[in-house]
Amino acid sequence: MRRRTISRIIITALPLAVLLAMYGLWLFLDPPIYYESIIAATLVLGIFAAIYIRLVPSVISFYCDDVATIEKDELHMRTKRKCGAREILVLLSAIIVFRVAVILLGYWFFNKQFGYTCTFFSAQRMWSMWSDAPHYMAIAEHGYVAQSTASESAHLTLVFLPFYSYVTKIFAFSGNYIRSGYFVSHISTIIGCVMLYQLVKIDFDRKTARRAVKYFCILPAACLLYATMSDGMFFMLSVTALYCARKKYIPLASLFSALAAYTRIIGVVLFLPIAMEYVYLLLQQRKQMGVERWRFVLKQTLCGLSLLLIPLAIGVYMLQNYAVSGNALQFMTYQNENWSQSFSIFFRTPAYLTDYMIRDIASGNTAYVFGLSIPNLVYIFGSLSVLLISINKMRVSYVAYFLAYFFIATSVSWLLSGPRYLTCCFPLILGLALVTKKKYVDIPLTILSLVGLVLYLYGFINGYQVF
């Protein structure tokens, strides 16, 4: 017990000491303009640290307690929560009806804004006009191109990972890439909702699983899941990977994680929860070491090696960068030069967003205030708060996944798409389902989310600063 306590203190103290040192160095070398910005940065660091502090003892207990007993109880609960065909059909019907309603609302916004009537199918281009959508369609149609042969900014597509575009190209039978991308985005998101439902049901009841699907569909930035971008596919692949890991299919989990990483680079973070579930599985099956030892060792070694597929996906992407530009890290250069994005520690992000918000309010630049600053700040503080409240009810691998995902997604020098990125973070969706168990919390949050969804949809359709 004493050894466990010492380990917990060391594991907790060292990373936090590093973060505090970086925080102090940042304040000394590059302080924000306003005191409100310092407060915002301090709050984000404090909540992040609180989640980590509460996570460490849970991780130690997760691996050191009697995992065999825990697994027996989990298996009993899983058996009680098997999904029937009717249950999935009802879920699919609700998802499709809601998505059709959002599509029709977007169609109405589009016609109202541009002042003419177009057919429903021709209006599909409204989902590929803004944000990153044109880049993904360019990759699907032309692939990556070198700067020397590119027209205008076509070479900048090298910044975007290609798996979603490759799948779009497969389904572009008639040569209509926008329609194909629209189809792939919808199918991916719908399948992702079903897999989300199945994943949540492993640990919780049907009501919690339904709330998780509901909030994934109605969060304000969820309207971007309708666009010809990779977010729906990334979410589908990531929740499928986690589901496979929970079902002890580690090689399949690694494969889906690799595809997620080849869809969006942040997918490489899936290595952490999949590896944690793999180690947990090894501890459960350690008694088999005495019988047919060599088969057990071979099987688990191959499972462990399958985890290498995840970083390998990023390696393939870097090789493509090298083949096109002669630089394996060219995508980072383009991001910095054209989107002003480079690494910047996560607690600095709410500080500069607050700086920009105060400055833009003073100058009357409301487009950036309501399109970028406020949505990003709401998602940053909201996601951290949700995880802090729900951490005791959530599996430790999910919490670790959230911390790593949040760290990477928000540690950029110019955060444009924070709401879109965090909407696809499974632990946030699960956390929302857990904190809204009471109706007096669920109903107001549902209404606020729907209002935010409509406003975000209107902003996207009209080409506002919504990314």
List Cα–Cα distances, 391 to 53, 79, 149, 427, in angstroms. Answer: 11, 25, 51, 10
Q: What is the DSSP letter of 464?
A: -
Beta bridge partners of 343: 412
Query: Is position 101 within any domain?
Result: yes
Query: Is position 104 within any domain?
Result: yes
Query: Is position 84 within any domain?
Result: yes
As a whole number of angstroms, the distance between CA 201 and CA 83 comes to 9
As a whole number of angstroms, the distance between CA 211 and CA 436 comes to 8
Domain boundary among 287, 302, 334: 334
Query: Is position 414 within any domain?
Result: yes
What per-residue confidence (pLDDT) applies to 76?
44
Same domain, yes or no: 38 and 171? no
Domain that holds residue 281: 68-334
Same domain, yes or no: 102 and 234? yes
* Tens-digit pLDDT profile for residues 297-330: 788 888 999 999 999 999 999 999 999 999 999 9
What is the token pair recorded at 1? 């017990």
Q: How far does Cα 395 stand from its chain's mean position?
A: 17
Same domain, yes or no: 162 and 46? no
As a whole number of angstroms, the distance between CA 273 and CA 197 comes to 19
As a whole number of angstroms, the distance between CA 372 and CA 393 comes to 32
What per-residue confidence (pLDDT) applies to 209?
96
Same domain, yes or no: 326 and 375? no
Q: Are the CB atoms for 427 and 92 separated by under 8 Å? A: no
Domain boundary among 279, 302, 334: 334
Same domain, yes or no: 366 and 281? no
Query: Is position 448 within any domain?
Result: no
* Domains in the chain, number: 2
Query: Is position 235 within any domain?
Result: yes
Q: Are the CB atoms for 220 and 452 separated by under 8 Å? A: yes
What three-state secondary structure class fits 347? coil
Q: Are the CB atoms for 163 and 234 separated by under 8 Å? A: no
Using CB atoms within 10 Å of the CB of residue 147, give its burial: 0 to 12 exposed, 13 to 18 middle, 19+ buried.
middle
Host H or E run for residue 107: helix 85-114
As a whole number of angstroms, the distance between CA 335 and CA 419 comes to 19
Q: How far does Cα 123 stand from its chain's mean position?
A: 28
Chunked mean pLDDT (size 10), the chain, 467 residues: 77 94 94 95 97 93 66 49 81 95 89 68 74 90 79 80 96 87 95 97 94 97 92 97 96 98 97 96 72 74 93 97 93 89 93 95 87 94 97 96 97 91 97 96 97 92 80
Block residue for tokens 């205030």 = 369
What per-residue confidence (pLDDT) applies to 461?
84
As a whole number of angstroms, the distance between CA 384 and CA 391 comes to 10
Query: Is position 442 within any domain?
Result: no
Query: Is position 311 within any domain?
Result: yes
Those residues with Cβ within 8 angstroms of residue 149's Cβ, 6 or more apart along the chain or in another chain = none
Those residues with Cβ within 8 angstroms of residue 262's Cβ, 6 or more apart along the chain or in another chain = 161, 162, 163, 313, 314, 316, 317
Same domain, yes or no: 298 and 315? yes
What per-residue confidence (pLDDT) applies to 66?
58
Q: What is the DSSP letter of 289?
A: G
* Tens-digit pLDDT profile for residues 46-95: 999 999 999 999 998 888 775 544 454 454 445 455 677 889 999 999 99
As a whole number of angstroms, the distance between CA 332 and CA 313 comes to 17
Closest CA to 354 of 11, 41, 23, 13: 41
Same domain, yes or no: 191 and 219? yes
Other CB atoms within a 10 A radius of the CB of residue 74 amount to 15
Same domain, yes or no: 348 and 217? no
What is the Rg, in whole angstroms, of the alpha carbon atoms belonging to the chain? Answer: 23
Q: Are the CB atoms for 228 and 127 separated by under 8 Å? A: yes
As a whole number of angstroms, the distance between CA 453 and CA 466 comes to 12
Greatest Cα-to-Cα distance within the chain, rounded to the nearest angstrom? 75
Block residue for tokens 């640990």 = 203
Q: What is the DSSP letter of 83?
A: P
Q: Are the CB atoms for 446 and 214 separated by under 8 Å? A: yes
What per-residue confidence (pLDDT) applies to 124?
73
Q: Give the pTM.
A: 0.94
Q: What is the DSSP letter of 238?
A: H
* Tens-digit pLDDT profile for residues 223-273: 999 999 999 999 999 999 999 999 999 999 999 999 999 999 999 999 999
Domain boundary among 310, 334, 358: 334
Host H or E run for residue 37: helix 35-64
Closest CA to 398 of 51, 29, 24: 51
Length of the chain counted residue by residue: 467
Same domain, yes or no: 212 and 357? no
* Angle made by CA atoms 381, 383, 388, in degrees to the nearest 5: 95
What is the token pair recorded at 65? 């307690």
Beta bridge partners of 422: none
Angle between helices 231-246 and 250-261 in degrees, nearest 10? 160
What three-state secondary structure class fits 343? strand
Same domain, yes or no: 149 and 246? yes
Same domain, yes or no: 188 and 306? yes
Same domain, yes or no: 222 and 329? yes
